[in-house]
Amino acid sequence: MSILAEVFVSTKSDALRYEVETKSGHEPAAERFEVVRYSRLTSLEFGTLWAILESAEWDVNRHMLKSLAHSDETWLEEFPDSYVSLLASAEEDHLLSASKAWGASEELQCAGEELVPILRDLRRLAVLANANGKGLFLWGSL
């Protein structure tokens, strides 16, 4: 089973529309969304990254994305504003050290260098979201 994760910049109403369109097999309009796609990443991995970026112990009550919609095979979640701000303001050296810790996490267990492009993508999307008064969302599928 392969997990697909799509992280994108959007308004909340467009994010909900994205979920409906994607779930029904339609490709959302590219001009409305800035999207990056990954495999193997869920809200748990993104929550772990959030804790790492804060230099904090992961806490289920603090480091979880906000669920907006879900079914047995798909989910839509929102990155909280504080997490988006943290990503947007992350310096390169902080991303590099975070990639090592994230890669060493129980959930991922991979080389941190593999994760650096993902962290850079997330920072770029967070900056874009902040600049346009939008949010950052995760759509996932089994």
pLDDT tens-digit readout, 18-29: 988 887 777 776
Rounded-to-integer distance, Cα 16 and Cα 78, Å: 10
Q: Are the beta carbons of 16 and 69 closer than 8 angstroms?
A: yes
pLDDT band at 42 (very low <50, low <70, confident <90, very high): very high
Q: What is the pLDDT of residue 60?
A: 95
Give first-to-last CA distance, the chain, whole Å. Answer: 7
Q: Are the beta carbons of 14 and 32 closer than 8 angstroms?
A: yes
Average pLDDT over residues 102-130: 97
pLDDT at 30 exceeding the cut of 70: no
Residue 43: domain span: 4-141
Average pLDDT over all residues of the chain: 94
pLDDT tens-digit readout, 86-108: 999 999 999 999 999 999 999 99
Average pLDDT over residues 109-116: 96
SS (H, E, C) 78-133: EECHHHHHHHHCCCHHHHHHHHHHHHCCCCCCCCHHHHHHHHHHHHHHHHHHHHCC
**Which CATH number belongs to the domain containing residue 76 in this structure?**
3.40.1760
Q: What is the pLDDT of residue 28?
A: 74
pTM for the model? 0.93
pLDDT tens-digit readout, 53-91: 999 999 999 999 999 999 989 999 999 999 999 999 999
Q: What's the total number of domains in the chain?
A: 1
Q: What is the pLDDT of residue 29?
A: 67
